[in-house]
Amino acid sequence: MQSNIQNSWYGISNRFIELVIKNEEGELSPKEYQEKGEILAQELKNKGTSTQGYIISQEAEIKAIKEEIKRLKEYADKKEKRIERIKSNVKDALENLGIQKLETPIGTMSIAKNPPSVEIYDESLIPKEYKKEKVVIDIDKAAIKDALKNGKNVQGAKLIEDKTRLNIR
């Protein structure tokens, strides 16, 4: 049984390199080179299959988790809205009956005055001294990419063209 490192992507690629070097140095017959190469190719294919299966499985699980989070958030939001409706109904009922405080075996419900708040009914009438300016600067990477592709020099940015990614289909 080979060690885990030998069965890793790193281990398999290193064994391919070692095989090529041994072949170039004449340590292997053509038949040995082909047989060992086929074995390593099969190991690589098996590793690829198991890795791809793992990635697909994990991506599906992540998708399911995100969907469940969305479902639970919607469920919690519905419950919060229901509680707000119930509180509003209780408040209205207590106010209609002229009751400020209701004692129950598990606690007390009471009508309380809210702290002062501000309602803005027309922003254009608010004096400048009560307005804050917010500055948001976004960098347009797409425009920079187009400029760099067209040979324009953009200080502070460079075009990266040697990155790779793994596609799994």
Residue 120 lies in a domain: yes
Q: Per the structure, how many domains does the chain have? A: 1
Residue 41 lies in a domain: yes
The per-residue pLDDT for 93 is 96
The per-residue pLDDT for 3 is 61
Compute the average pLDDT of residues 1-21: 84
Identify the band that residue 165 occupies on the pLDDT scale cut at 50, 70 and 90.
confident
Contact 148, 158 (CB under 8 A): yes
The per-residue pLDDT for 73 is 98
pLDDT 10s digits, 16-48: 999 999 999 999 999 999 999 999 999 999 999
Task: Say whether pTM exceeds 0.75.
Answer: no
Report the candidate in 8, 37, 5 with the shortest Cα–Cα distance to residue 21.
Answer: 37
Residue 164 lies in a domain: no
Give CA–CA dist 127/129, Å, rounded: 5
Residue 19 lies in a domain: yes
The per-residue pLDDT for 29 is 94
pLDDT 10s digits, 101-150: 999 999 999 999 989 989 999 999 999 999 999 999 999 999 999 999 99
Residue 157 lies in a domain: no
Residue 42 lies in a domain: yes
Q: Which amino acid is at 84?
A: E
* Distances in whole angstroms, Cα of residue 26 to Cα of each of 14, 18, 30, 31, 70: 18, 12, 9, 12, 61
Q: Are strands 101-104 and 107-110 parallel, antiparallel or unpaired?
A: antiparallel
Domain that holds residue 121: 4-149
Residue 154 lies in a domain: no
Is the predicted pLDDT of residue 5 greater than 90, yes or no? no
Identify the band that residue 95 occupies on the pLDDT scale cut at 50, 70 and 90.
very high
Residue 161 lies in a domain: no
pLDDT 10s digits, 53-70: 999 999 999 999 999 999
The per-residue pLDDT for 2 is 52
